[in-house]
Amino acid sequence: MNILQVHNRYKITGGEWTVLNQEYDLLKREHTVDQLIVDNTKELDTLFNKLKLIFTTHYNRKSRELVREKIRKTGAEIMHVHNFFPLLSPSIFEASLEEGVPSVMTLHNYRLIYPNGYLMHDGKIDERTIHGSAYSCVLEGVYRNSMLQTAVVAHMIEYHRKRDTWANKVDCLICLTEFAKAKFVEAGIPGEKMRVKPNFVDDAFRGLNLSEMIDQKDDYYLFIGRISEEKGIRTLVNVWNTWKSATSPQLFILGEGPLKKELQKKSQENTKISWLGFVERARVLEILSKAKALIFPSEWYEGMPMTILEAYSAATPVISTNIGSQGEIVHHNRTGLHFEAGKEQSLVETLEHFESMNEEHKGMSLAARREYEEKYTPEVNREKLLSIYREFVKNT
């Protein structure tokens, strides 16, 4: 199969860039894979180029022609878009349609229905655009604290809602979870256009003895992520600051972010909290594999939390908030436990329950590893992705 990946790369690369390249490496072993990458760093190098986005974010004719030329040059049989914002625009789907090539897009965030892509504003979940207009977000400047930039993205959202672009121009929209799919459907995007395929992580623990891995679990909990409000780190630190008995376990915090200095100062006398900062991936996996549990206190709708998938690969249970995709991925009383987002008492009670389980920890660890092997390995992901492609590509 001849596949064309299309992506608008941000100045600061994140999960989308990682997934794009993971899938490229998977697919190129057996298929022809070409890429069309535009880069914000190169394209938005002047004020003039940035101002042009006001007029092209919703529909870029040059991008449409660029994609048409790329499809013709490569002989692509299917186009897979990971991100079109802000340079390419949804015009690229008209290009593939005009060339008779089916198009697939992975919805890594909620950009089709909310200007900042997160269904979150001011540290709180915000669903106003699911049933209302994206223009309602303009005055509050939900995107980059800018009314102008929010207005530009809101116009893109409403322009394509009015034109039924997602119903008529795209063959398939890939959602990472059933939860995300439900939100898009609630916002008016046709469910029949959607397929659910999660992301994946490489198996760093392949071939290791699972029983030995589980027996080596240590008496500490772990947080991995950005030290910021929406990640629930304040709730987590507050709980540990009140749980300071001699027998309370250690909490390791991996990551950097805007709240780090404040929360470090707040917990400086608590010897049960260790701030490890940025840690290389190999060391992260080592710490994760020996943790009693990963704590995932995020207070917003996560997309596909890779740290949870990595915890599963390491046979480490997850204690997670019960909302969003994380609430779906973590199975309560099987691969981990749930608690109420932002509720300190709920987290305390959940931790105390987990501490009292003793021998049941091993069963959760086994279930976590089994969940990874069944859903989140590269091999499983490749077959799911190819199955979606074959559904829309003729003569395969």
CA distances from 54 to 38, 63, 64, 68 (A): 18, 15, 17, 23
Residue 182 identity (one-letter amino acid): A
Q: 75 vs 145, 170, 294, CA distance in Å?
A: 42, 19, 45
What pLDDT does 245 receive?
59
Same domain, 175 and 309: no
Same domain (yes/no): 253, 352: yes
Residue in 349, 345, 348, 346 with CA at minimum distance from that of residue 323: 346
**Sheet (strand 32-39) strand order:** 32-39, 2-9, 78-83, 103-107, 172-175, 194-196
Pick from 115, 6, 26, 17: which is nearest to 386 by CA?
Answer: 26
Contact predicate 376/312, CB 8 Å: yes
Q: Are residues 278 and 364 in the same domain?
A: yes
Residue 348 buriedness (CB in 10 A; 0-12 / 13-18 / 19+): middle
Do residues 148 and 159 both lie within one domain?
Answer: yes
Residuewise pLDDT in 10s, the chain (396 residues): 999 999 999 876 678 889 999 999 999 999 999 999 998 877 777 887 888 899 999 999 999 999 999 999 999 999 999 999 999 999 999 999 999 999 999 999 999 999 999 999 998 999 999 999 999 999 999 999 999 999 999 999 999 999 999 999 999 999 999 999 999 999 999 999 999 999 999 999 998 899 999 999 999 999 999 999 999 999 999 999 988 655 679 999 999 999 999 999 999 999 999 999 999 999 999 999 999 999 999 999 998 999 999 999 999 999 999 999 999 999 999 999 999 999 999 999 999 999 998 788 999 999 999 999 999 999 999 999 999 999 999 765
Q: Cα–Cα distance between 91 and 165 in angstroms, integer? A: 9
CA–CA separation, 24 and 32 (whole Å): 10
Q: Is 83 left (phi over 0), alpha (psi -120 to 50) or beta?
A: beta
244 and 186 within one domain: no
167 and 214 co-located in one domain = no
Name the pTM for this structure.
0.92
Are the CB atoms for 76 and 3 separated by under 8 Å? yes
Is position 73 within any domain? yes
Maximum C-alpha span of the chain = 68
Exposure string (b/e) for 31-51, b if CB count within 10 Å is 16 or more?
Answer: eebbebebebeebbeeeeeee
Q: In angstroms, rounded to a whole number, what is the distance separating the alpha carbons of residues 223 and 275?
A: 10
Tokens of 128: 């106003």
Q: Are 288 and 276 in contact (CB under 8 A)?
A: no
Q: Strand 318-321 relative to strand 293-296: parallel, antiparallel, unpaired?
A: parallel
Separation in Å, CA 65 to CA 51, 61, 285: 21, 6, 44
Q: Are 177 and 222 in the same domain?
A: no
253 within a domain of the structure (yes/no): yes
Whole-angstrom Cα distance, residue 136 to residue 326? Answer: 28
Query: In which domain, by residue range, is 345 found?
Result: 210-375
In a shared domain, residues 20 and 156: yes
Whether residue 368 sits in one domain with residue 220: yes
Tokens 């404040």 map to which residue? 262
Same domain, 253 and 161: no
In a domain? residue 296: yes
Closest CA to 197 of 333, 70, 378: 378
Is 149 within a domain?
yes
The tally of domains found in the chain comes to 2
Domain match, 39 and 162 both? yes
Q: CB atoms < 10 A from the CB of 17, how many?
A: 17
Query: Has residue 137 been placed in a domain?
Result: yes
Do both 30 and 162 map to the same domain?
Answer: yes
8 A C-beta contact, residue 264 and residue 235:
no
Return the structure tokens found at 51.
């101002």
* Bridge pairing between strands 318-321 and 78-83: unpaired
* 205 inside domain: no
The tokens describing 252, both together, are 């390791």
CATH number, residue 48:
3.40.50.2000
